[in-house]
Structure 1
Amino acid sequence: MAEDVSFTAELKDAIAPRTVLLVLGVLALQLGFVASYVGAFHHPTAHDLRVGIVGPSSITARVEQQLKDSVGDEVSVTRLQQRATAVEQIRQDRLHAALVVDSGGTTDELLVASGGGSSLVSAVQQAAEQAEAEQQRSLTTTDLVPLQSGDARGLSGFYLTIGWLVGGYLMASLLGVARGSRPANPRRAVIRLLAQLPYAAAAGLGGALVVDQWLGALTGHFWALAGTGTLLVLAAATVTTALQVLCGTLGIGLAVLVFVVLGNPSAGGAFGWPLLPWLWRTIGPWLPNGAGTEALRRTVYFAGRDAGGYLLVIALWAAVGVVVTLAVSRWRHSREAVAA
């Protein structure tokens, strides 16, 4: 007859201390997820809004002051001489909006670019309407960079970026789970990295096919979308591989921390960077999520202006992932060879 085993001994055998630590790590990620998303989105407030104003100073001075009273010091107002200048600067994404004051009447025009973010348009429009109402003036809105018909609220690029990043870190995680988080030697590390190339290319091409050819959400820039997607998938995959080489299974959790807990709410998708709290609007442009979302936005709506800088950020993440993976794999292999 089998000898009775105490409950404590059974518990220790069933749930190893390492498992407890991993569960605590999952709990920390879960709470971090809640804190990050709610912290970013629960109270959107304007920061560094760039607004132009056109018209005679006798009227614009009062409207400008009312606009600052409505939004606060976080609005930067630039006085312009001509409507055409305001139009050009909005289409080049130098201004978020511009108010053209009618000197001969009481109905002014607000120039916006919903392609730069519908949340920004809503914030500026609300502030402008309040400022105009205080001066007994009314407002009409002209959208100079309208959203494509299939891109409701301008969120397609954001969700596309998330999809590519999720695929990248899941692919790298599965490779780690299937064959060990840490490659057995530097050659295995190279093979694992090379295996990510065709997957990234297929994912980039597939994502572009879905949003452009199939759904018609983001059209007219197929190869630019495919190339950006390939780069995003590579960044997520190589960084996840590097984190696994450094930290083993824990590296998967760290990848989730970077790409999900911190990356998604700071990407400028649901709310543009000028509406996010300091932490999220600061880190957003430097994480692949934000860089990818903004690169796609500028490619589709602003003729690619400044998209190259965001693509460079993504490429640097991918390069760091490759370098760390190869360097740490070589170091671990050398140390194990010496120990043997």
Structure 2
Amino acid sequence: MSSLETRGAYDPATNIVYVASEGNLAAAQAVEGLFGSIAGKTVGTAPTVFDVAPTSSTDRLGASLMFVGLAAILGGFLTATVLQLLLPGLSLRVELTVIAVMSVVSAVVPAFVAYGVYGAVSGSILEVLALLALSAFVVGSFHLGGMRLIGPGMMIPTLLIMVLLGVPSSGAAIAPEMVPGFFTTLNNFLPTPALLEGLKRLVYFPAASIGGTVAVMAMWGFLAAGLLGLSVLRHKKDPDEPILSSFAAIPAPENGDSK
């Protein structure tokens, strides 16, 4: 369980159920119920529950990392949105520089609140900051590339991928194994589940690998680079066409009486 290979275990010789609440509280409760029922029928007494990774008194639901991760993702998304809607015409280099700076801010602020203000999280602060900043930059770059290509309409697919599909498939509230198969599959490919799982492993299960998180972020980084590359090619082909075509000037009405 220290490497998150399993959600729980039962030792019939000692009648002990092992769980890891920090891995997922709902999964730990399900394991307790399942093995408690089995022990009641086979041993005749309720088992002893040993939590190898219990939730802290400042984060009893084990949900603090979810809010920290979502803050970083929304920071990258909002930065790219503001750049394109309020500051159109900036060069790609300037836009990426701003996103990089704001990605660090999006990592530091929620981490400071979680670590320093509430004390809900402790340990692995540098690794957590690095992963948060990387994720914010990847999401911001992906959204920026889409915004440069199709304009404000990119907000819909980005929010769909990062929030509406990303959060339910992340296992933040319910373990991925306990949700419908569609979301279990998405858990392996979307950046939001990758980030939240990586944070959980860094803070609570340092023996577990974050290779899967890095691989998913690398994949979305390549997708972001592809979108940005296409936007550059499009702009070179039609330099006079406004990138945000929906914000082009509205033609003046023709002279004459309107009826």
Same fold, TM-score > 0.5, yes or no: yes
- Within a 5 Å distance, the mapping from 1:119-268 to structure 2 comes to 119-135=26-42, 136-180=44-88, 184=89, 188-268=91-171
Residues 232/304 of structure 1: CA separation in 2 closer, same or farther (3 Å cut): farther
* CA-to-aligned-CA distance 1:238-279 (integer Å, 9 cap, x gap): 111112122211011111111111111111101011111101
User: Are residues 1:282 and 2:193 paired?
Assistant: no
In the aligned structure 2, how far is the partner of 1:163 from the partner of 1:179? 22
* Residue in structure 1 matched with residue 11 of structure 2 by the alignment: 100
Bigger share in helix = 1
* Residue in structure 1 matched with residue 238 of structure 2 by the alignment: 336
Structure 2 counterpart of 1:161, which letter?
G
Structure 2 counterpart of 1:97, which letter?
G
For the residue of structure 2 that corresponds to 1:91, the secondary structure is coil
In the alignment of these two chains, the number of paired residues is 240
In the aligned structure 2, how far is the partner of 1:315 from the partner of 1:148? 32
Higher relative contact order (CA 8 A, sep 6+): 2
Q: Is the 8 A contact 1:119 1:270 kept in 2?
A: yes
Residues 152/314 of structure 1: CA separation in 2 closer, same or farther (3 Å cut): farther
For the residue of structure 2 that corresponds to 1:246, the secondary structure is helix
In the aligned structure 2, how far is the partner of 1:296 from the partner of 1:337? 42
Residues 253/142 of structure 1: CA separation in 2 closer, same or farther (3 Å cut): same
Residues 212/338 of structure 1: CA separation in 2 closer, same or farther (3 Å cut): closer
Normalising by structure 2, we get a TM-score of: 0.86
CA RMSD of aligned residues (A): 2.0
Deviation at 1:99, TM superposition (A): 0.7
Deviation at 1:172, TM superposition (A): 0.8
Structure 1 residue runs of 4 or more that deviate by more than 6 Å after TM superposition: none
For the residue of structure 1 that corresponds to 2:76, the secondary structure is helix
Normalising by structure 1, we get a TM-score of: 0.66
In the aligned structure 1, how far is the partner of 2:72 from the partner of 2:207? 20
In the aligned structure 1, how far is the partner of 2:219 from the partner of 2:11? 41
In the aligned structure 2, how far is the partner of 1:162 from the partner of 1:337? 36
Q: Computing the radius of gyration over CA atoms, which structure comes out larger, 1 or 2? A: 1
For the residue of structure 1 that corresponds to 2:73, the secondary structure is helix
Deviation at 1:304, TM superposition (A): 4.9
Deviation at 1:111, TM superposition (A): 0.8
In the aligned structure 2, how far is the partner of 1:174 from the partner of 1:328? 21
Q: Is the 8 A contact 1:120 1:272 kept in 2?
A: yes
Structure 2's unaligned 5+ residue stretches are: 242-259
Greater alpha carbon shift after TM alignment, 129-138 vs 249-258: 129-138
Deviation at 1:96, TM superposition (A): 1.5
* Residue in structure 2 matched with residue 116 of structure 1 by the alignment: 23
Q: Is the 8 A contact 1:267 1:285 kept in 2?
A: no
Q: Is the 8 A contact 2:147 2:153 kept in 1?
A: yes
